[in-house]
Amino acid sequence: MSIKQISVFLENKPGRLQKMTSVLAANEVNMRALSLAETKDFGIARIIVDDVLHAVNVLKDADFIAHLTSVLAVEIPNKPGGLDQMLQIFSEANVNIEYMYAFLAPKDLNSAYMIFRTSDTKASEAKLTGKGLKTLSQEEIANI
């Protein structure tokens, strides 16, 4: 199952990221994961949240440019070599990773979670589940 990631375009100015987090905090949106990439003029915050539709709506209401993207969320063992085992499955399935980022769940320190963006999420998911990999649903992410 794929989940939805929110990509928020931010001007590359002091305080702009904090403005986004203030909007989310004021509206009781809990971020599960965050990745920030920048260029000279703007940044892209990629976030996984507990309530995607609410979050994207409050961000747009606050004049942020926010888009939804399908990504794969995968639980991996939080141990040396855990990521390597996961990437081996991707390699065997011939799935190319465009970008990825990770987060830990405070409830279960034995697991880590990786967010993967591929060029074709549905095809990648089919290939990966065929290799025995389990992806997380939006509901599972919300309950982490």
Render pLDDT for 50-80 as a digit per residue (tens, 0 to 9): 999 999 999 999 999 999 999 999 988 888 9
pLDDT at 143: 82
Burial class from Cβ neighbours inside 10 Å (0-12, 13-18, 19+) for residue 74 reads buried
Q: What is the DSSP letter of 95?
A: -
Q: How many CB atoms lie within 10 A of CB 141?
A: 22
Q: How many CB atoms lie within 10 A of CB 47?
A: 24
pTM of the entire structure?
Answer: 0.89
Tokens 């004049």 map to which residue?
63
Q: Which is more confident, 14 or 134?
A: 14
Q: Is 21 helix (H, G, I), strand (E, B) or coil?
A: helix
Largest CA distance in the chain: 45
Average pLDDT over residues 119-143: 86
Ordered structural domains, the chain, with CATH: 2-69 (3.30.2130.10), 72-138 (3.30.2130.10)
